[in-house]
Amino acid sequence: MTKVALIGAASGWGAGFRQAEDGPRGLREYGLAERLGERGVAARWAAMVSTQKHWRAFPDLGPPETFELVARHNAALADAVAESVPAGELPVVLGGDHAIAIGTWGGVARRMGGAPFGLVWMDAHLDAHTLATTPSQNAHGMSAAVLLGHGMPEFLAIAGGVLRPEHLCYVGVRSYEVAEWALLRRLGVKIFYMEEVRERGLAAVVTEAVRIASTDTAGFGLTIDLDGFDPEDVPGVGLKVADGIRGAEAARVLQGIGRHPRLRALEIVEYSPELDREQRTATLVLDLLASMLVPASLRASQPLSAA
């Protein structure tokens, strides 16, 4: 049985909607670990990595202070991912805004000893801005660029260049700026836009994305930004983008990926309990994790669990 180490990454300083800082604690209060246990998944809270300043106490804080808070938080998160999870447990990082990807995948890279890894990035956005191109000045729009080796020095010191462009694949993109798109195009990163997901079907696209992320690598990860889903399914996110992936379909398609022998970590980000309605978004997080992680003996099929 796969043992799961839940790591809360409680920071909203990378986003314009900072309520995502409350996401990990909201999921813990929702009883995520216990509910996963009821579905046959052995899960425990291994760490809760918080920022030095809660967003409610400093509502008007902006750059460069927010960048410093994001950098410190990601450095601590990378340590937690790399060092607080024993061998044999799968790290599952729960955000927090998508700036936490710097810490999550910087920690995974360290945990893997610098061996090459791939990443499937399910998101409505590209998150590939640098300080020179970002219109919002929000760090959650920069994390993918940092992993590819482009961005602010304080972020690059944590995870700069840990990911090669040919090992990154996006799924469900439908909202982006030209400058970040141009960087990824120049680097040769594969992007499955939402139009192609609808035309080919999510299952076919995810299968190809996993193949890209696992080819010539020592393992791969999956990061899921909840705003990649249709707003109908995720009221508890700050940036809602119409016509996204449907939650039930994603849970079905991703079934068993948590038991893939080369999976190194999972990450789910941008949950804001304050914005949720009837715990619909929290329930989707539970459904996704249960589907991805449920033991083989409790499943009828294993579409993504083979090497």
Q: Is 227 a catalytic residue?
A: yes
Kindly name the residue from 125, 129, 150, 260 that is annotated as catalytic: 125
Kindly name the residue from 127, 154, 233, 287 that is annotated as catalytic: 127
Cα 125 to Cα 2, 59, 142, 213: the distances in Å are 30, 25, 11, 18
Kindly name the residue from 225, 230, 267, 287 that is annotated as catalytic: 225
Per DSSP, the three-state class of 194 is helix
Q: Is 225 a catalytic residue?
A: yes
Q: Is 98 a catalytic residue?
A: yes
Phi first, then psi, for residue 94 (nearest 5°) are -120, 120
Kindly name the residue from 154, 180, 270, 287 that is annotated as catalytic: 270
Q: Number of H helices and number of E strands within the chain?
A: 11, 8
53 vs 276: CA distance, rounded Å: 23
Q: Is 260 a catalytic residue?
A: no
Q: Is 65 a catalytic residue?
A: no
Kindly name the residue from 21, 123, 233, 267 that is annotated as catalytic: 123
229 vs 100: CA distance, rounded Å: 19
Kindly name the residue from 22, 73, 97, 98 that is annotated as catalytic: 98
Kindly name the residue from 97, 227, 233, 267 that is annotated as catalytic: 227
Q: Is 270 a catalytic residue?
A: yes
In sequence order, what are the beta bridge partners of 268? Answer: 94, 224
Quick one: 32 exposed, middle or buried, by C-beta within 10 A (0-12, 13-18, 19+)?
buried
146 vs 114: CA distance, rounded Å: 16
Kindly name the residue from 129, 140, 167, 260 that is annotated as catalytic: 140
In single-letter form, the type of residue at position 143 comes to S
The separation between CA 17 and the C-alpha centre of its own chain, rounded to angstroms, equals 17
Active site residues: 98, 123, 125, 127, 140, 225, 227, 270
